[in-house]
């Protein structure tokens, strides 16, 4: 059996249904064999970078490793997606083909040493030296991608190996690693007891959920645990969806990408913080000031990764284990305690928080009327989405205006993976390809892509991918004719005029229309609501262009920016 067939046989054994990529000279042999495997759908993309972001979106929604592939010349193009997946712990298996290894140093066209490029941004970079190596390598790739701290694995296959015959073929798959988590280790019970003791003695405990809760699918356990102890729950921007934001115990997103003064104040006032599946990064902690590294707060940290627990803070109790399995044990132990757990809805602290957040929501209605240069206030757009969207949907969201307002003000009604952010690195051009990947994972629910004109410039080609495959994605373009985030940072933090941040004004909806997508440009909030309702009913892609003020004209809720905006008398949203 030739190497090219072994690859596809193994993917079939692992129940792979979709692979994202595009052909090149080093992968033609694999593509000719692919004709014999129609059950493994190949999604032809227009850029390898997009293919990797599609695999990312697919992995986050399907709870299976996302699979992408690229020819040798395109191996460098998937690096942004692989780096994001590595930092965000997203399980991806990236196949790249290559020239025969003995020709690389002879200056064979497209050939280069791929392994060092991937070594630092994957859990492993594996090179097949013969066709017989492939079953072992693919088993290792799935096992590594789905266990422990999930992440991307790179598989490099020289084109000569594709055509070589294997001397033996061991096509067995380890099916338990076809999904993630592949295995669920539990934290030590003695440490769980110590953590529970701290929480039970606490007067103002707080739970902060990161993306690890979503990867572990532990949102039901978080809700049960929080209700038993009456503990408020916040999430990071990447962990949004770990807890229903309609729940009385929810404080929403915290940190400097979606945290509001009210939610961040709850963090400041907490005496015990329980981090679950959170890497306590710059964004979640507002530059390690929330909480400060020298605060007297008691900290508990539960994470699958020994690298992340207690990494940025001296932690009182370290819990290394899967979030779902460890929380189940915590819940079981709590149920044996003699302590009587009161109804959290009658807890004075909880009632006070509910009142504060209700008053805050009312104040936002006035702020949503603020306009910038007669453009739509992004807050009013999010309010319409809150009113219109049901419980089941997936929204892939690019950095910038679309992300910060969605993170802070869009309310996830039902816990689970609902929003896809790429805020481990935050590269532009993520939302549209990620939404395509999400569609192939869940074609039965509405899929949204919230993007900006800065990001759209990276991914316009994928509009053709959407039309060719009739991908039912609704694209919302937050257009402000600039790299607005950089423009605002220059103005507010560096106190400088903007430089190289503004674009020519373009009617992007006409470009989308030229690709064959039903497209609109919105002039008002009422029109947007009608169009949103109309587009959600259609089983075809739609594109809605929304003119919004840049971030320096109407300052979004970024703590350091708000302080500057107040000093300068600028319009801002908090």
The pTM of this model reads 0.96
Query: What residues have CB less than 8 Å from 247, skipping those under 6 apart?
Result: 223, 233
Q: Rounded distance, CA 157 to CA 136, Å?
A: 13
Q: Where in the chain is the domain with CATH 3.40.50.970?
A: 3-177, 368-568
Mean pLDDT of 510-517: 98
Question: Quick one: tokens of 165?
Answer: 């015959």
- What 3-state class would DSSP assign to 339? coil
**Predicted confidence band of residue 374 (pLDDT cuts 50, 70, 90):** low
Angle in degrees, CA 366, 369, 373, rounded to 5: 145
Give the C-alpha separation, 17 to 22, whole Å.
Answer: 16
Phi and psi of 58, rounded to 5°?
-65, -45
Check if the beta carbon of residue 372 is closer than 8 Å to that of residue 554: yes
Residue indicated by tokens 């692992």: 14
**SS3 of 240, please?**
coil
- Note whether 243 and 222 are within 8 A (CB): yes
| pLDDT higher than threshold 70 for residue 560 | yes
Q: What's the pLDDT at 571?
A: 86
DSSP string covering 99-155: S-GGGGGGT-TT----HHHHHTTSSEEEE-SSGGGHHHHHHHHHHHHHSSS---EEE
Is the per-residue pLDDT at 372 higher than 60?
no
Hey, CA dihedral for 549, 552, 554, 557, is it positive or negative? positive
| Strand, helix or coil for residue 2 | strand
Residue range 189-351 in CATH 1.20.1250.20: no
- At the topology level, CATH places domain 3-177 in Rossmann fold (3.40.50)
**Predicted confidence band of residue 364 (pLDDT cuts 50, 70, 90):** confident
Residue 115 near residue 156 (C-beta atoms within 8 A): yes
Q: Which two tokens stand for residue 73?
A: 């010349």
CA 549 to chain centre: 25
pLDDT band at 345 (very low <50, low <70, confident <90, very high): confident
Domain boundaries 368-568, corresponding CATH code: 3.40.50.970
Q: Which helix (H) or strand (E) holds 29?
A: helix 28-34
Q: According to the model, what pLDDT value does residue 371 have?
A: 57
What is the token pair recorded at 18? 């979709």
> Where does CATH 3.40.50.1220 sit in the chain?
189-351
Burial letters for 498-530: b for 16+ Cβ neighbours within 10 Å, e otherwise? beebeeeeeebbebbeebebebbbbeebeebbe
Identify the band that residue 421 occupies on the pLDDT scale cut at 50, 70 and 90: very high
What pLDDT is attached to residue 164? 95
Query: Using CA atoms, how far apart are residues 530 and 532, in angstroms rounded to an integer?
Result: 6
pLDDT at residue 12, rounded to an integer: 98
Q: What is the mean pLDDT of residues 149-177?
A: 95
pLDDT digits (tens, 9 = 90+) for 201-228: 999 999 999 999 999 999 999 999 999 9
pLDDT over 80 at 368, yes or no = no
Percent of the chain with pLDDT over 90: 90
**Residues with Cβ < 8 Å from 39, sequence gap 6 or more?**
12, 17
Averaged pLDDT, 30-54: 98
Query: What are the percentages of helix, strand and coil residues in the chain, rounded to 5?
Result: 45, 15, 40
């Amino acid at each position: 059996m030739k190497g090219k067939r072994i690859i596809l046989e193994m993917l079939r054994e692992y129940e792979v249904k979709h692979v994202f990529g595009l052909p090149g000279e080093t992968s033609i042999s694999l593509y000719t064999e692919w004709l014999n495997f129609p059950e493994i759908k190949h999604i032809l993309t227009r850029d390898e970078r997009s293919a990797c972001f599609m695999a990312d979106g697919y992995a986050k929604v399907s709870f299976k490793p996302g699979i992408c592939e690229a020819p040798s010349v395109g191996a460098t193009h998937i690096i942004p997606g692989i780096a994001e997946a590595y930092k965000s712990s997203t399980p991806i298996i990236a196949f790249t083909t290559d020239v025969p290894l003995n020709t690389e140093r002879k200056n064979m066209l497209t050939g280069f040493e791929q392994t060092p490029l991937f070594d630092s941004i994957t859990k492993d970079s594996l090179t097949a030296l013969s066709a017989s190596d492939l079953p072992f390598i693919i088993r290792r790739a799935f096992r590594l991608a789905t266990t422990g701290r999930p992440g991307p694995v790179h598989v490099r296959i020289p084109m000569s190996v594709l055509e070589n015959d294997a001397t033996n073929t061991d096509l067995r798959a380890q099916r338990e690693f076809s999904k993630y988590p592949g295995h669920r280790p539990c934290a030590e019970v003695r440490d769980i007891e110590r953590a529970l003791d701290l929480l039970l003695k606490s007067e103002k405990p707080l739970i902060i959920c990161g993306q690890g809760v979503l990867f572990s699918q532990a949102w039901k356990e978080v809700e049960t645990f929080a209700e038993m102890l009456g503990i408020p729950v916040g999430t990071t921007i990447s962990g949004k969806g770990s807890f229903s934001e309609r729940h009385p115990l929810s404080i929403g997103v915290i940190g400097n990408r979606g945290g509001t003064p009210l939610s961040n104040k709850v963090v400041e006032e907490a005496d015990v913080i329980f981090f679950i599946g959170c890497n306590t990064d710059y964004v979640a902690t507002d530059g390690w000031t929330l909480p400060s590294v020298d605060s007297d707060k008691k900290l508990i940290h539960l994470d699958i990764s020994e690298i992340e627990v207690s990494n940025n803070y001296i932690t009182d109790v370290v819990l290394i284990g899967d979030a779902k399995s460890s929380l189940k044990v915590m819940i079981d132990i709590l149920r044996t305690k003699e302590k009587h757990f009161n109804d959290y809805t009658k807890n004075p602290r909880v009632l006070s928080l509910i009142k504060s957040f209700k008053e805050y929501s009312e104040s936002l209605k006035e702020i949503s009327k603020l306009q910038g240069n007669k453009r739509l206030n992004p807050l009013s757009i999010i309010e319409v989405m809150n009113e219109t969207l049901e419980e089941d949907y997936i929204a892939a969201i690019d950095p910038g205006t679309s992300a910060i307002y969605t993170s802070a003000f869009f309310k996830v009604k039902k816990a689970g993976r609902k929003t896809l952010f790429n805020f481990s690195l935050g590269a532009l051009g993520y939302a549209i390809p990620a939404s395509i990947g999400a569609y192939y994972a869940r074609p039965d629910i509405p899929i949204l892509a919230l993007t900006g004109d800065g990001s759209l410039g990276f991914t316009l080609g994928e509009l053709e991918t959407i039309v060719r495959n009739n991908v039912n994605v609704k694209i919302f373009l937050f257009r402000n004719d600039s790299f607005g985030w950089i423009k605002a940072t220059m103005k507010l933090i560096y106190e400088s005029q903007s430089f190289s941040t503004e674009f020519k004004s373009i009617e992007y909806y006409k470009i989308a229309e030229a690709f064959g997508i039903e497209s609109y440009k919105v002039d008002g909030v009422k029109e947007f609501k009608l169009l949103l309702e109309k587009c959600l009913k259609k089983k075809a892609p739609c594109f809605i262009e929304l003119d919004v003020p840049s971030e320096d004209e109407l300052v979004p809720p970024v703590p350091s920016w708000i302080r500057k905006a107040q000093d300068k008398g600028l319009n801002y949203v908090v």
